[in-house]
Structure 1
Amino acid sequence: MPGGYPSVLVVDDSLVQRQHAAMLCRELGMDLVYEASDGREALALLSMLVLPPSLLIVDLEMPGMDGFEFLEELHRLQVFLPVLIASSREQMLMNSANTLGKELGLPMVATLAKPLCLTQLREALTNRLPQQAGRARPAPLPLTAGDLDTALREHALKVHYQPKVDMHTGLLRGVEALARWTHPVLGPIPPDQFIPLAEQSDLIEPLTLSVLDQALAQTAAWQTRGLNLSLAINLSPRLLESPTLVEHFSAQVAQHGLDPHQLMIEITEGSLAKRLDVALNRLARLRLRGFGLSIDDYGTGFSSMQQLARIPFTELKIDRSFVSEATQRPHLQVILRSALEMAHQLGLVSVAEGIETLQDWRLLQTLGCQIGQGWLIAKAMPGDDLHPWLRGHRQRLALLRAEPEDLAAPTQQPD
């Protein structure tokens, strides 16, 4: 059966549409097909079933409890089942439901227009396996500032590196340094849990400086082997308040024998909200010394363009939320095209993160994006794994290149 879904619950107030969807699911080999006429009936059924369905097909416009309310109730009840939205309403409304589901941590499979057809349903379920359909937020772990402080003092936080490649040639251009922590008891700790903990407990400065020192040392080691790469590192808004920030970054880069131009400092728009005067002072001085400045997660805030006019950025990094579904959502393509054109007009290097499929890659190539990173290229990896990855990556260059017949011979990359 497509996507490995053996059972399904179809939630639709239209008897005809509901039975049609149920029939298609049976044709696709689903052994158990349940039906409900609205959200309330579906929740009552789910509470009684010993074996819950592996998929929910949900309409949006229903009396009693509509599709949006149903998604909220699933989240409230901690029922994280894969959801496929099927509706006759406009695509933008379906996209909103899909976004809401993801924000609630539900595994969202796809959005399809009614009436459903067998080919579209099979394709949607095949392309979106349950473990890939959504990224539910992990439950908070019982961590304390003391745990993190101990990890820092024992050098337990390590740095992994995600490759950034030229979108025209596929060649490696740089890496982004990302902190990783494996707790001796709790195992791997997600960054979205230990980074906020560090910021709340005044440990963000030692954490950032540890990542910076490790990453610069690794970049210098690569350089001795002939691999000259740029290094991107995320800067917490808390560090923009440090009066020694500029001097420390400059000293660390010099100590490792690198050039400031090799370091790209990524700043989220939210970092600039509280004390623009302080942030502007630090960032302008860093730029004066040759460091690159990237506005990270571009498009997720309300004043990104205003910040571009204030801060001497050299790079614009487009948030993954505008990349991951752009091939299916035309309005996202409009936003992408606008952002990339603006970056070009301002003389900024354009970077897209979160590229997970070849379709994402091709679209961004067509729109003129310059640098890309994401799981299609590689996940973040330990520094020692970069050279083996690079040898394998060379075999994919022909697939990734936009117009192979028009390209000059590629620059040789060292082993």
Structure 2
Amino acid sequence: MADKLLHQIDSVLIVDDSPIQRSFAAELCQELGIELIYQANNGVEALALLDLLKMKPTIMMIDLEMPAMDGIELIQQLQELNYQIPLVIASSREESLISSVTSMTAALGQTLLGGLKKPLHLNQLVQILNRLEQPNHARPKDKLSPLVEQLTEQDLLLAISNREVVPYFQPKVDINTGMLKGVEALARWIHPELGIIPPDFFIPMAEQSDQIIRLLTLAIAEQSIAQCAIWNERSLQISCAINLSPRLLSSLSFFQEIAKLPPLHHVPNQQIIWEVTESSVVNNLGAALGTLARLRLKGFGLSIDDYGTGFSSMQQLARIPFTELKIDQSFVNGAHERNNLAIILQSAIEMANRLGMSTVAEGIETLEDWRLLQRFGCNIGQGYFIGRPMPAKDLFNWLKTHNQRLAEIKK
């Protein structure tokens, strides 16, 4: 067998109302070396079995159409009962329905390995189950420690002042050649006692205050641009993308503050890309459009971030001089096995190419999705398949390792 599991899976619970389908799925699991296989006819039986088992199954494989309790209700009940068991959805229904249920599962915070259309194939099942090894797939989120939850806006202000909030850099590489083209700067709070504070905790806190988000954005921008100057001196001239909060777009004084940073560090404006989420210019439209137009006039790049997640994408593209379209990871991850995602992804890339914009796909986690993006003509890729966000000092070490795998990912 060419494909194999990356690590041992102890047990599986197969929930399917068809004895033939259950038996076939069980045979595939046995072939993969999974010894303990539980079976249930529907959601009600599955929940009753879970209640009895002291050791819960490592994974659950769930059909959608079942009597008594269908797969959708079962997944909802698993969330209600706080079962955090990695799920595989397997159904003979249309891909759009399977895709909808996988999106629901992820939105509920359940651990989702993926969705498969029946009949099941061994190689596809292996690829799905091996996602247990991949770091970006949904696992139960660690609860924040009480000490972290007690941190306040004043603590964040002090951290920014003390330079405890620093940029980490995630590589962006050419899809065809794999060569490093740029980085995205991502804010990280390195607390001297509590370690790394999750950005999901402190970014929303910063967004509540104009003062804090202004200081945070300026701090990350200044440190990132200063780092670009260091890389330039070492003959590594790459672009740097910096996230721009929508709360700051209407401020003339803020525009003046960020516009003076690159000349201060002798970094060309063209090397800096400001990333703006597609819904962020709705408020204060006139002022926001003015700020973005002036940034472009100064030679900065403008990227529309998380493309596809809002409702005004086309309108934004028509009225803002974006140079880069960044496709949200929800349209990238798993696109090689979900036809509806692949169609949306390809159309976005083709549209951007026609508009003369560079395309960036974020959230790339597998070689299969990478190959799909190559076929579709995407320009730049970003994601854990390429590299995680890292401190600036680690970029050259990453580059050495990355260069060794270029043969694998080049066209």
Aligned to 1:174: 182
Aligned to 2:196: 188
User: 1:166-315, aligned counterparts within 5 Å?
Assistant: 166-202=174-210, 203-315=212-324
Alpha-carbon spacing, 1:116–1:313, altered in 2? closer, same or farther (3 Å): closer
Q: Deviations over 1:341-377 (max 9, x none)?
A: 1111111111111122222222111111111112222
Task: State the one-letter code of the partner of 2:99.
Answer: N
Q: Deviations over 1:78-113 (max 9, x none)?
A: 211011112221222112222211222222223233
Distance apart, 1:211 and its partner CA: 0.4
Query: What is the rounded CA distance, in whole Å, between the counterparts of 1:131 and 1:287 in structure 2?
Result: 36
Aligned to 1:379: 388
Aligned to 1:37: 41
Aligned to 2:59: 55
Q: Secondary structure at the match of 2:68?
A: coil
Contact kept? 2:241, 2:275, Cα under 8 Å = yes
1:391 maps onto 2:391 in alignment: no
Counterpart among 61, 77, 82 of residue 78 in structure 1: 82
Q: Secondary structure at the match of 2:241?
A: strand
Aligned to 2:361: 352
Measured on the aligned residues, the alpha-carbon RMSD in Å equals 2.1
Between the two proteins, the alignment pairs up a number of residues equal to 402
Aligned to 1:155: 163
Q: List alignment gaps of at least 5 residues for structure 1.
A: 403-415
Contact kept? 2:95, 2:340, Cα under 8 Å = no
Q: Secondary structure at the match of 1:21?
A: helix
Query: What is the rounded CA distance, in whole Å, between the counterparts of 1:130 and 1:48 in structure 2?
Result: 30
Q: Secondary structure at the match of 1:64?
A: coil
Alpha-carbon spacing, 1:165–1:21, altered in 2? closer, same or farther (3 Å): closer
Distance apart, 1:172 and its partner CA: 1.6
Aligned to 1:413: none
Task: State the one-letter code of the partner of 1:188.
Answer: I
Query: What is the rounded CA distance, in whole Å, between the counterparts of 1:134 and 1:42 in structure 2?
Result: 22
Alpha-carbon spacing, 1:30–1:12, altered in 2? closer, same or farther (3 Å): same
Task: State the one-letter code of the partner of 2:179.
Answer: L
Task: State the one-letter code of the partner of 1:182.
Answer: I
Task: State the one-letter code of the partner of 1:266.
Answer: E
Query: What is the rounded CA distance, in whole Å, between the counterparts of 2:322 and 2:157 in structure 1?
Result: 33
Distance apart, 1:132 and its partner CA: 5.8
Alpha-carbon spacing, 1:171–1:20, altered in 2? closer, same or farther (3 Å): closer
Distance apart, 1:125 and its partner CA: 2.5
Distance apart, 1:23 and its partner CA: 4.4
Contact kept? 2:95, 2:339, Cα under 8 Å = no
Q: TM-score, normalised by structure 2?
A: 0.91
Alpha-carbon spacing, 1:115–1:225, altered in 2? closer, same or farther (3 Å): closer
Distance apart, 1:304 and its partner CA: 0.6
Query: What is the rounded CA distance, in whole Å, between the counterparts of 1:226 and 1:398 in structure 2?
Result: 23
Query: What is the rounded CA distance, in whole Å, between the counterparts of 2:240 and 2:137 in structure 1?
Result: 31
Aligned to 1:124: 128
Instruction: Give percent identity, aligned residues only.
Output: 52
Structure 1, 356-365 or 106-115: larger mean CA deviation: 106-115
Q: Secondary structure at the match of 2:156?
A: helix
Distance apart, 1:388 and its partner CA: 2.3
